[in-house]
Structure 1
Amino acid sequence: MTAEGKRRVIIAVDGSGHSDNAFQWYIDNLMKPDDYVYGVLVPEYKLRNITVGPFSDPEALSKEFGEQHARVEKMCSNYTATLRSANCKGQVDSYPTDKSVGAEICEQAGKLRADVIVMGTRGMSQAQQFIMGSISNYVMHHARCPVTVVPMSK
C-alpha cells in the first residue's frame, strides 16, 4: 500500500478486445474507491506498405507515424475517459520504447511503485507462446508485484 492509503494499479492496455476486457473487469470487480490507476499503453508502431531504406519517402514515413501516434493518443484519451466515468482516479499514457512490451510494463510498474498489475491475455496455446512469446507470461515472471491476468469471457 502507498503512504496515502491508496493502491497503485497498473492496467496494461493496447486497444484490443483482450485489454478492453481486462480494463472493464478491473472496474467491475477489483476497483476500490481510493485506487489510483496508471494505464500503460506500449505502442508498437508498424510501417505498413512503406519501404524503409536509403530511398524511403520521408513524408510518407512521417505521415504514417503521425497517424499511428494520433490513434495511440486517442486510445489513451478514451481509456482515461472510461476511468473518469467509473469515478476512478488515474490516467492512461503511452510509453514508447525500444524494449519489449512486457519489459516496459514491468519497468513502469517499478517506477510507479505499483501494488498490482492487471492485464488481459490472448489465450494463446503453449505452442503459440513458445513461438511468439507471451507478454502476460513475461510480466508474470518479471514483475515485482502481483499480476492479475484476465482471460476473455467465454
Structure 2
Amino acid sequence: MNEDIPAQKRVVVLAMDGSTEADAALQWFAKNIYRQDDEVLVIHCLHHTASHAMGCTEHMTMGVLFSSFQSLDLKAIEKAFQKETNDAVRLCSQLEELLQQYEIQGKVIRVQGDPGHKIVTTAEECKASLIVLGSRGHGAIRRTVLGSVSDYILHHATIPVLVYRH
C-alpha cells in the first residue's frame, strides 16, 4: 500500500430515534468502532403521521379510523405536529450532548419523512460507508404489520449496515 496516498475518511451514519436501543447502539459504536478520523453523522428522522396526530393507535380498524376523519379537530392535529417537532428539536440537542460525552466528532442532522427511506437516501447523499442503528426487537407479526426501519434499511441500503441488538 502506498504511504503517500491518504486513506479516505470513513463516513458513518448513526440512525437515532431517542429509544434506549438507539442509545445502546451509539454507546457500542463509541466503544468498539469509532475512530477519531471518522466523519460521524447522526440522523434523526421526524415522521409526522396523521393517525398518530389524531390519537389513533395501531389497533384501530379502518372503520374507526374513517369515522375519526369525519370529526377532525385541525387545531388538535396542528398542536400534535408542533409537539412532535418540538420533541425532535429537543432530542437533537440531547444527541449533540451525547456526541460530546462520548468524545465523538460529528454532527446531528434532522430529516423529515419515512425513516427507513430518509436514512438510506441521506446515507447515499453523504457517501457514507456504514450505517449503524439499534433494533427494538419487535416480533415477526408486529414487524410485518407495522414495518421495521431496520428491516427496510437492511434491504435497501447499498452499504454495510450494523444493527445493534441490546
TM-score, normalised to structure 2's length? 0.78
Aligned to 1:143: 157
**Could you tell me how far 1:58 is from its partner in structure 2?**
4.1
What percentage of aligned pairs have identical amino acids?
29
The aligned amino acid for 2:40 is V
The C-alpha deviation readout for 1:46-90, integer Å capped at 9, x for no partner, is 314499757644443332222211110111111111112222111
Aligned to 2:81: 65
Aligned to 1:79: 95
In the alignment, the residues of structure 2 paired with residue 114 and residue 13 of structure 1 have an alpha-carbon distance, to the nearest angstrom, of 16
In the alignment, the residues of structure 1 paired with residue 40 and residue 103 of structure 2 have an alpha-carbon distance, to the nearest angstrom, of 11
In the alignment, the residues of structure 2 paired with residue 28 and residue 20 of structure 1 have an alpha-carbon distance, to the nearest angstrom, of 13
**Could you tell me how far 1:132 is from its partner in structure 2?**
2.7
Q: Are residues 1:43 and 2:49 paired?
A: no
In the alignment, the residues of structure 2 paired with residue 107 and residue 18 of structure 1 have an alpha-carbon distance, to the nearest angstrom, of 22
Q: Are residues 1:96 and 2:112 paired?
A: yes
Aligned positions, number: 148
SS at match of 2:53: coil
Q: Could you say which structure has the larger radius of gyration?
A: 2
For structure 2, the 5+ residue unaligned runs are 1-5, 57-66
In the alignment, the residues of structure 2 paired with residue 77 and residue 110 of structure 1 have an alpha-carbon distance, to the nearest angstrom, of 24
Name which of structure 1's ranges 29-38 and 41-50 shifts more when overlaid on structure 2: 41-50
Aligned 8 A contact 1:120 1:149 in 2: yes
C-alpha change, 1:52 and 1:78, in structure 2 (3 Å) is farther
TM-score, normalised to structure 1's length? 0.84
SS at match of 1:144: coil
Aligned 8 A contact 1:36 1:88 in 2: no
Q: Are residues 1:105 and 2:113 paired?
A: no
**Could you tell me how far 1:43 is from its partner in structure 2?**
1.7
SS at match of 1:92: strand
SS at match of 2:118: helix
For structure 1, the 5+ residue unaligned runs are none
Aligned to 2:24: 21
In the alignment, the residues of structure 2 paired with residue 129 and residue 54 of structure 1 have an alpha-carbon distance, to the nearest angstrom, of 30
